[in-house]
Chains A and B, each alone.
Chain A
Amino acid sequence: MTIWIIEDQCDGCKRCQQACPYESIEVTDGVARVTDRCTSCGACVAACKKEAIGSDITPRQVPDFSDHTGIWVFAEQTDGHLANVGLELLGKARELSVHLNEDVSAVLIGKNVAGLCDTLAEHGAHNIYLVEDDLLEQYRTIAYTDVMQALVKEYKPGILLIGATALGRDLAPRVSRRVGAGLTADCTELSIDPDERILWQTRPAFGGNVMATIANRYSRPQMTTVRPGVMEKKTVTEGVANIIRFKPRLNEADIRTRVLEIVKEKKSVTDITEAGVIVAGGRGVGDKKGFDMLQKLADLLGGALACTRLIVEQGIMPQHAQVGQTGKTVRPEIFIACGISGAIQHRAGMMGSRYVIAINNDPKAPIFQVANWGIVGDVNDIVPEMIKQLSNGGTL
């Protein structure tokens, strides 16, 4: 797109020069001239009284993407183990496919991973793009990106879903840039707009205070990452998939990273944003002893201990355990609020939790408004009882 001066009509009035935000118009010998600083913004076109500025700037049009069809799911695997999130996304993809009447495909990349195809088929993949190569034994960003780019170019999917794991969040943006597609991060809801037949991607914004629905009209595939545990796994009855083997052209020299060592650490759930269960304490818990009790409950549930800002300020718990506007935003399956009144700043950090349980001796505490189930009572009575019943239950 360019801007040009129709010299016969230009009277050298300099209006365009004044209108240009980029100092890209010079007026010499009574005629304007556009320099290479021009960004085609069009500000000068509107300023000219003599219609002496030509431009071919056209409003943005939605391209025809009818050749891009199918919903793809990146099936993440490490050491031959599929990540759950890939199966969860297949479940969602099958649901979306009903509205689009298109196939669901899994993309499986690695070395000697063909054995995982059955599981993908059982969870809803109609097709599996299977890419095996010695160079793909370990995940490396550029190698995987090259493979994804080649697949997208060859088979033209309409939608591509990737799990928001450490691997997925490394890969997805790189793939999106490479294939020229927009990418929406960490969606919690996906649906198909019935009129435009495009993917509506909904995600929390600004600490979960607002939900934003995002569309990707101008590029394909419509790419989205989804955090683990947000969608549900489903199994399908037919469970047989069409396997398409794809041989990428890969060079070790192009990949530019080498994995020297992978060190597995015993998982201690200190990062509260990754915990499935959070036991959080506030003013009503009292002191360190009270938090030791909450820790015991968290341990029994395989969860993490968190707290409100006040508790951090009192030095009872470290800052990284703080939930809220000035702490962390968490979205666990289960959030147990113990002795927390539920100020808006705290609620902002935990409202995205799947189930909220509130225990507080003040029945008017605002935390109850956002709880699924509430228990009015003293934390020091209720929590020990929870520990007792969990220990007796024998399920752990």
Chain B
Amino acid sequence: MNIVVLVKQVPNTTKVKLDPGTGNLIREGLEGIVNPDDLHAIEAAVRIKEENGAKVTAVSMGPPQAVDALTQAIGMGADQAILLCDRAFAGADTWATSLTLSRAIEKIGEYDLIFCGHQAIDGDTAQIGSQVADWLDIAQATYVKEIETISDREIIVKRRLENGFERVSCQLPALLTVIKDLNEPRFAHVERLITACTQKAPIQIWNAADIGVSTCEVGLEGSNTHVIKTFTPNFKRQNEILEGSKEEVVAKLFERLKKSDTTLAHIF
């Protein structure tokens, strides 16, 4: 069985810097971590490898330092990794990103399962998984919280819904986006990490030509959506301090909530 895991390196910082020209995040100089949901995706793939036997390939699109995320994936048990790295990929929206990832997966060739995290903490879009599945024309299951069984032809999973879950059978090949309930990610194995940091590390770097896309199809230029402005919202609120005895202040508060336009005004 061949498994691909899509991994994203995300900034771990309280300082947000934006490019005033494009409105996109300036990623240079920020400490990067593996997107939390993606750790669960790596773990899921590695567990299948351990139980059923599989070759696990981690794929990431990002700047050169995103190789750190792939090193960690190998440290956790992935067999090889591919970094999609090209200035032409920069500034991509989810359309262009999913195209880039899909072309890379097609180049990898055979795959039975693709795992990705449900969403990334920097963009919160949760779009890439479904879009990659559609580019590749394969089945998908999102919000996966449990994997029940895997055969050569299908995988049965539990998907979290708002008020419970559903059990779904998915034909292979399939793409699964996973949530934190699925598993507890392991720590990277130190020896594997050291190997992954050497010259012989099984990590390849591919650019636009390697995956056969033209630069106008990817990155900012290939994107359908563009940021036209960013602004810091004014978070200050009226800050009305309610005064009086504790009975009075609570009564005043509930009165204001009752008269407000909150959809929950009826509670008070």
Task: Assess whether B246 is in contact with A377, with CB atoms less than 8 Å apart.
Answer: yes
Contact of A377 among B16, B143, B249, B256 (CB under 8 A): B249
- Indicate whether B109 reaches chain A with its CB closer than 8 angstroms: no
Task: Assess whether B237 is in contact with A39, with CB atoms less than 8 Å apart.
Answer: no
From A8-16, A106-114, A153-161, A178-186, the one touching the partner chain is A178-186
Q: What's the dominant secondary structure at chain A's contact region?
A: mixed
Chain A min CB distance to B179 (Å): 10
- Indicate whether B229 reaches chain A with its CB closer than 8 angstroms: yes
- Indicate whether B188 reaches chain A with its CB closer than 8 angstroms: no
Task: Assess whether B131 is in contact with A370, with CB atoms less than 8 Å apart.
Answer: no
CA distance in complex: A240, B223 (Å): 39
Task: Assess whether B93 is in contact with A182, with CB atoms less than 8 Å apart.
Answer: yes
- A212-B229, A219-B224, A374-B242 known; A206+B25 contact, CB < 8 A: yes
Residues of B within 8 A of A390 (CB): 254, 267-268
Residues of A within 8 A of B150 (CB): none
Task: Assess whether A265 is in contact with B163, with CB atoms less than 8 Å apart.
Answer: yes
Considering only residues 1-39 of chain A, those with a C-beta below 8 Å from chain B are 1, 21-24, 37-39
Task: Assess whether B230 is in contact with A205, with CB atoms less than 8 Å apart.
Answer: yes
Nearest neighbor of A198 in chain B, beta-carbon distance? B228
Task: Assess whether A213 is in contact with B267, with CB atoms less than 8 Å apart.
Answer: no
From B47-55, B134-142, B193-201, the one touching the partner chain is B134-142
Q: How large is the interface on A (under 10, 10 to 19, 20 to 34, 35 or more residues)?
A: 35 or more
Contact with A along B80-106 (1 / 0, CB 8 A): 000000111000011100100000000
- A21-B87, A212-B23 known; A40+B216 contact, CB < 8 A: yes
Task: Assess whether A395 is in contact with B267, with CB atoms less than 8 Å apart.
Answer: yes
- A173-B130, A174-B131 known; A213+B229 contact, CB < 8 A: yes
- A41-B208, A333-B262 known; A374+B241 contact, CB < 8 A: yes
Chain A min CB distance to B165 (Å): 5
Contact with B along A131-150 (1 / 0, CB 8 A): 00000000001100100000
Residues of B within 8 A of A185 (CB): 94, 123-127
- A370-B237, A371-B239 known; A382+B88 contact, CB < 8 A: no
CA distance in complex: A171, B133 (Å): 11
Task: Assess whether A347 is in contact with B262, with CB atoms less than 8 Å apart.
Answer: no
- Indicate whether A372 reaches chain B with its CB closer than 8 angstroms: yes
Nearest neighbor of A229 in chain B, beta-carbon distance? B263
Chain A min CB distance to B82 (Å): 17
Q: Which B residues are closer than 8 A to A by beta carbons?
A: 14, 16, 18, 23, 25, 86-88, 93-95, 98, 122-131, 133-135, 138-143, 156, 159-171, 174, 207-210, 213-216, 221, 223-233, 235-242, 246-247, 249-251, 253-254, 256-257, 260, 262-264, 266-268
With contacts A216-B225, A256-B170 known, what are 15 further pairs, Cβ within 8 A? Answer: A141-B130, A166-B162, A170-B130, A174-B130, A177-B95, A178-B134, A184-B225, A201-B225, A207-B16, A210-B18, A325-B14, A334-B257, A357-B253, A382-B249, A385-B246
Closest 6 CB pairs of A and B: A182-B224, A22-B209, A173-B130, A182-B225, A173-B127, A185-B125
Q: Which A residues are closer than 8 A to B by beta carbons?
A: 1, 21-24, 37-42, 57, 60, 141-142, 145, 165-167, 169-174, 176-178, 180-186, 200-201, 204-219, 229, 256-265, 267, 274, 276-277, 301-302, 325, 333-334, 344-345, 347-348, 351, 354-357, 363, 368-377, 381-382, 385-386, 389-390, 393, 395-396
Q: List 5 A-B contacts (CB under 8 A).
A: A22-B209, A186-B124, A205-B230, A215-B225, A276-B263
